[in-house]
Chain A
Amino acid sequence: MNRRHLHVACAALLALMCAQPQPALAYLKFGVPANGRQVTLKWAQTPVRYFISTQSAAAGVNASEFQAAVARAFATWEAVPSSSISYQLAGITAATPGRDDGLSVLGFLNRPDLDRVLASTSFLVDRVTGALVESDIFFNASFIWSVDSAGAANRFDLESIALHEIGHLSGLGHSALGETELREGGGRRVLGAEAVMFPIAFAAGSIAGRTLKADDIAGISDLYPAADFEGSTGSMSGTVTKNGQPVFGAHVVAFDPAKGSLVGSFTLNAQGQFSINGLSPGPHIVRVEPIDDAEVDSFFDANGVDTDFRVAFSDRVVVVPRGGDSGPVTVTVVRK
């Protein structure tokens, strides 16, 4: 089998991503080249079988606590009613995450060199078919972790970080639904986020990342739709322009005032087009912003991404029909 190993996601404080974003789809799904075409990265069969590495203890967490915290995170994704994804613990293995062995392994690795990476997910993809063969998650043992139900000061919550990484393992990329500020010593501090898949983790001690948000739910449901998902939700599509020219890499957010939910996407092609699937039917507000709350390359290849424009809203209330698309929405932005 002709395979290629793609390191596609690092959660938390820094993100490294090599895969191409799948154009014109909601949130961010990974696309991988396979036999000359772009294929959405996802598991062909479920349940997704995963192994726990014997290297599953680190400062603040023992092996059984690790297994339980990871199981809770898997269960959270599995509980999304509009998604058909499921997972199964296949056993304990002596294998470590990151090895191309056909097993999806979760465990700790001590990587003090990655001093801003809490955890990372890697993939093994069949280059011919595009099928996802293996996905490993390593948690960086050089940080201090917690599995306390209420969180613990100065310790990172394992369940929250696992929830984010399992999103990657399932095929989701990063969401830009978050606000940050620069820290004096470098890096960014999260002021707020409305997606578990936001690339930067909450500060140590927080357990706010244990709950999936509308954006995460739309993303996983779009990848692995339950039977009634497409019929019970709708989509929105359109274009972002500046001075009459398409804008590449704009972050587009749909807000449902009735539900208070936020779901985001990006303009991901040369025509400045975007599409957001899995939206609740009804009127939505559309907000467009530059990607300026995380490194652009934590989402996708930064080449050509335009961040030189002000936040703008659509002057239309955009109605998302049940089981259909809103029709074209055009949002015009202006330079900063």
Chain B
Amino acid sequence: MRRFSAAVALWGVVALHVPAARAQSTGADPGRIELSAGALWVGHQALGSTAANETTSTGTSLRLFSTSSDLAGAAGFEGRVGVRLSHALVATAEASYSKPQLRVSITNDIENSTAVTALETMQQFMIGGAVVWYLPYRFSASRVAPFVTAGGGTLRQLHEAATLVATGRYYQFGGGVTHLFASRPNRRLKGLGLRAEARAIVRQQGVAFDTRAHLAPTLAAAIFARF
């Protein structure tokens, strides 16, 4: 978690030193709290290849069969609560849920068995936080604002029938845009809009057949409301 804390701190420092940073509604109160809910798609993650080996008389390996595993891309839901720290900077707490399929492709059987892909549907929960920095640039349509984001959190993956839990950590970074449908600075509901983003999620531990970190592209779209 130290690395994550360092990343947050770095983003905070960068944001504080951008004097012209503007939120979406120029000069107006953009709202302190932001709630959003939407859909996300977490892309495919390769989990590595392993072989089922037997030992030969000389101590070398005799391959019984090979496996190649991945976590298939899956759609899910995501919710987020954000607190505006400055015009340009928002800290968020977020949670997502998806049901990716664990796929293990079995090939090269020593007895020439037909190749098979064994499957299992998992439930994946990610709970964490991020910082969102609204860039000091504006598109010509003033209601669109670009941002970058970085964060991380914990990962919890439930195997079928919730018989076993795999836990891990994730880190993410990416960017996107928000588009305000309506801005009402003087009302309690100060804004309503759409947020679209692309992120890269780096997962450590959780379901894996190797010790590497695993990278997955992620797309998300959400409706947000600012208060």
Residues of A within 8 A of B (CB): 177-179, 190-194, 202-203, 205-208, 211, 213, 253, 255, 257-258, 260, 262, 281-283, 285, 287, 289, 310-317, 319-322, 324, 326-327
Contact = CB atoms under 8 A, between A and B. Distances in A.
Contacts of A193: 54-55
Given A192-B55, A194-B54, A283-B102, A257 B120 contact: no
A315 B56 contact: no
Nearest to B54: A192
Interface of B: 50-59, 61-62, 64-65, 67, 69, 102, 104, 106, 109-113, 116-120, 159-161, 163-164, 166, 207-209
Contacts of B69: 257
Contact of A317 (B111, B112, B120): B120
A318 to B, nearest CB: 8
Contacts of B102: 283, 317
Contacts of B58: 206, 208
B54 to A, nearest CB: 3
A219 B163 CA distance: 24
B164 A311 contact: no
A202 B120 contact: no
Contacts of A207: 59
A326 B64 CA distance: 23
20 contacts: A177-B54, A192-B53, A192-B55, A192-B61, A206-B58, A208-B55, A208-B58, A253-B52, A260-B51, A282-B166, A285-B104, A287-B52, A310-B111, A311-B111, A315-B116, A316-B120, A317-B119, A317-B120, A321-B163, A322-B164
A321 B113 contact: no
A321 B53 contact: no
A194 B56 CA distance: 9
Given A283-B120, A316-B119, A326-B163, A191 B52 contact: no
Contacts of B163: 319, 321, 324, 326-327
A283 B62 contact: no
Given A194-B55, A310-B113, A281 B104 contact: no
A48 B159 CA distance: 41
A104 to B, nearest CB: 29
Contact of A202 (B52, B57, B104, B166): B57
B164 A319 contact: yes
B50 A260 contact: yes
Contacts of A211: 55
A262 B111 CA distance: 17
Given A208-B58, A258-B209, A312-B113, A317 B118 contact: yes
Given A262-B54, A311-B111, 19 more contacts: A179-B54, A191-B56, A193-B55, A203-B57, A213-B55, A258-B208, A262-B52, A262-B64, A283-B120, A287-B113, A310-B113, A312-B113, A313-B116, A313-B118, A314-B118, A317-B120, A319-B161, A319-B164, A326-B163
Contacts of B54: 177-179, 191-194, 262
Nearest to A290: B111
Nearest to B111: A311
